[in-house]
Amino acid sequence: MDKNSKEKSKEINPKDVTICEATAQMLVKAKRDGVETAFDRAANMKACPIGADSACCKHCSMGPCRLSAKDPYGKVGVCGADIDTIMARNFARMVASGAAAHTDHGMAMLDLFREVVNGNIKEYSIKNPVKLNAVATSIGIEVEGKEEKEIAMELYKELEKTYTQIEGEIPFAKRVPEKTLETWRKQGIVPRGAMREIMEMMHRTHMGVDQQYENITKQFSRTALADGWGGSMVATEISDILFGTPSPVAVEVNMGVLKEDKVNIIVHGHEPNLFESMLVSVNSPTLIQAAKDAGAEGLNLVGMCCSGAEMLVRHGVPHAGNFMSTEAVLVTGAVDGLCVDVQCIKQGLSKVAQCYDTPMFTTNPRCHIEGAQHIEFNEHDPLGCTDEIVIKAITRFKNRKHKVEIPNIVNTGVHGFSYEYINYMLGGSFRGSYTPLNENIINGRIRGVAGVVGCTNPRVKQDWAHVELVKELIKNDVLVLQTGCSQIALAKAGLTTPEAACMAGPGLQEVCETVGMPPVLGMGSCVDNSRILLAASEMVKAGGLGDSIADLPVAGVAPEWMSEKAIAIGQYFVASGVYTIFGVTFPIVEGTKFHQLLFEGLEEQGMGKWGYTPDPYEMAKMMIAHIDKKRQQLGIDKARERVLVDMADRRELEVA
Ligand code: NFS
Ligand code: SF4
């Protein structure tokens, strides 16, 4: 036994690390099968305390330098960098990396769009011309009397600037409420183009460049905004134009969506083009016949993580679970093919897949994984890749060697609330608008709106903080908007059904029942957080709730975050004016100047601010207190008291 394996002695109790029953069941099986997952590794990998506080720097070989969180100003790096510079630079690089991931994804969608419009790719087409016109109009492109192709080409050229523009403001800055934009202009943080912002961010965080935390913060705000109002928004809007805008659809979630008698194929990753092509492949009569010839009942396509969330809201494709369930799902032995593209794909998956003879396929030139087969996805011949994967999965089905154990749990919910649909749902088909939402906030039935988003993380009990927090929020009449892995946690907990309205406070319950909607609205993947930005923007424009996003009674939260993308998202929400709370841990030393700037100072500059607590009940309290403060500033706090008294009276009458 080597030293390493001797150290790996801590055993996990599945019930302590997740509230997802299917995942817990599979962790028990994994232990039986001698298979290790990230839960085991997290228990045996002590997080570095200095790194967790971001009190170290390895930007040059005079270091690495370690400072102390206990005495943050007691020491500086070899170059003289102080704690604020070091933490701000580290934070900035997390933002740059997260923003790069989203913007590169958006650019891949834009590349596809250009080739479709040019006629070079025929396998995809514009599915949603109404959205094409709406997006074009929103950034000042005249659509009247023009052919679809002409509008699309103009839109492409304009949106390309999101990435390549050197001077000026990114195109979607035109969608930002005027006063919010004014704040950005005053602070000098309106993004020019994403490539420029990310490049400048990397430059400024190099050894010996920007060594003033406030100045670094400005640039990472600008970089983050180039993600939220840039790359992510392009990803969402172009995907809607090419593949359709989500509208409410009943979906099945959890590991029970795998079928023992079918060839199970999972797509896990982020870019919908691959998944869309896989959807075509699994519907091919030839391949369905091949599956039947192999003794299967058919082909079963299932999503995971964010591309799964996108296909869930757009097409109602079943979803097997979120980030911390991706290894566990392989332990079922039922997965005949695991197909991935980019982001949030644990390298550990390849080893677990090997244990169960599940072929794992990487498909994107950006992401190869040791032990996985690479079958490159090419948009000019998308089926070439996805058909081959289906064929290989059928072969695995035919030769299944492992006993299959699928947790018998399926939850149904309603997801697919694009910001356009919220408009339609509340405003009716003739004059969709956010006015009814605002009215319900002003009259107090809805106390405020919360965006609950982000990852799951083996450092905390999977799904627990998401679920407990959301229950608290809706109980207090806060309408919840969701994306990413968080909405899968809530779907598994049964809170994305219209019936879940009974768990909401009296005001929110009344609104949900009138409209027939759940109190928790699933909107899609992490790039679809841009839908939340647009919803916030529409709320400002509909009137009555102030002039900027910072005036709204809203808050954002990522209770179980883990990725750099989450930090980028958090920062663009904060810079857009939203109070944003993170759980798990926060990579900054408390009591430092940089901490003070992020947790208080930015708000004084007209933006939002950061908050932190690992406790979901505390999170709910902090968010509700903020929402109430905003209600008070708007002068609508009294209305809520009145409406709640009314409703209580009415209920008493009904009982009598
Ligand atoms: Ni968002 Fe999606 Fe999930 Fe977190 Fe990862 S899949 S982009 S980063 S873990 S929500
Ligand atoms: Fe140390 Fe400064 Fe080099 Fe960072 S840049 S490793 S603080 S010497």
CATH topology of domain 423-634: Rossmann fold (3.40.50)
H/E run at residue 121: none
Residue with tokens 């998401």: 466
Q: What are residue 253's DSSP bridge partners?
A: 319, 411
CATH topology of domain 255-398: Rossmann fold (3.40.50)
Q: Is it true that 72-243 and 255-398 share their CATH fold?
A: no
The answer to whether the CB of 124 is under 6 A from ligand 1 is no
Residue of minimum CA distance from atom 3 in ligand 2: 60
The dihedrals phi and psi of 538, each to the nearest 5 degrees, come to -65, -35
pLDDT of 655? 53
The answer to whether the CB of 563 is under 6 A from ligand 1 is yes
Question: Could you give the CA distance from residue 345 to residue 514 in angstroms, rounded to a whole number?
Answer: 41
Spans of all domains in the chain: 72-243, 255-398, 423-634
Q: What is the mean pLDDT of each run of 10 residues along the chain (656 residues)?
A: 56 96 98 96 94 96 95 97 98 98 96 96 94 96 96 98 97 98 98 98 98 98 98 96 93 97 97 94 98 98 95 94 98 98 97 98 98 96 97 97 96 91 70 80 96 97 98 97 96 96 96 92 94 95 94 98 98 98 96 98 97 98 98 91 73 58
Residue of minimum CA distance from atom 2 in ligand 1: 306
SS (H, E, C) 451-510: EECCCCCCCCCECHHHHHHHHHHHHCCEEEEECHHHHHHHHHCCCCCHHHHHHCCHHHHH
Whether the CA torsion 579, 87, 612, 199 is positive or negative: it is positive
Q: What are residue 425's DSSP bridge partners?
A: none
Question: Could you give the CA distance from residue 53 to residue 511 in angstroms, rounded to a whole number?
Answer: 43
Question: Could you give the CA distance from residue 79 to residue 89 in angstroms, rounded to a whole number?
Answer: 14
Question: Could you give the CA distance from residue 519 to residue 506 in angstroms, rounded to a whole number?
Answer: 12
Q: Which of 50, 54, 56, 57 to mutate to test the pocket of ligand 2 (most atoms within 8 A of CB)?
A: 57
Q: DSSP assignment of 226-290, as one string?
A: HIIIIIHHHHHHHHHHHH-----EEEEESGGGS-TTSEEEEEESS-HHHHHHHHHHHT-HHHHHH
> How do 249-253 and 411-415 pair as beta strands?
antiparallel
The answer to whether the CB of 629 is under 6 A from ligand 2 is no
Reply yes or no on domain 72-243 having CATH 3.40.630.30: no
Whole-model pTM: value is: 0.95
Contact 44, 12 (CB under 8 A): no
Q: Which atom of ligand 1 is nearest to the CA of 455?
A: 4
Longest dimension (CA), the chain: 78
The answer to whether the CB of 136 is under 6 A from ligand 1 is no
Q: State the CB neighbour count (10 A cutoff) for residue 566.
A: 23
Contact 239, 109 (CB under 8 A): yes
pLDDT of 9? 72
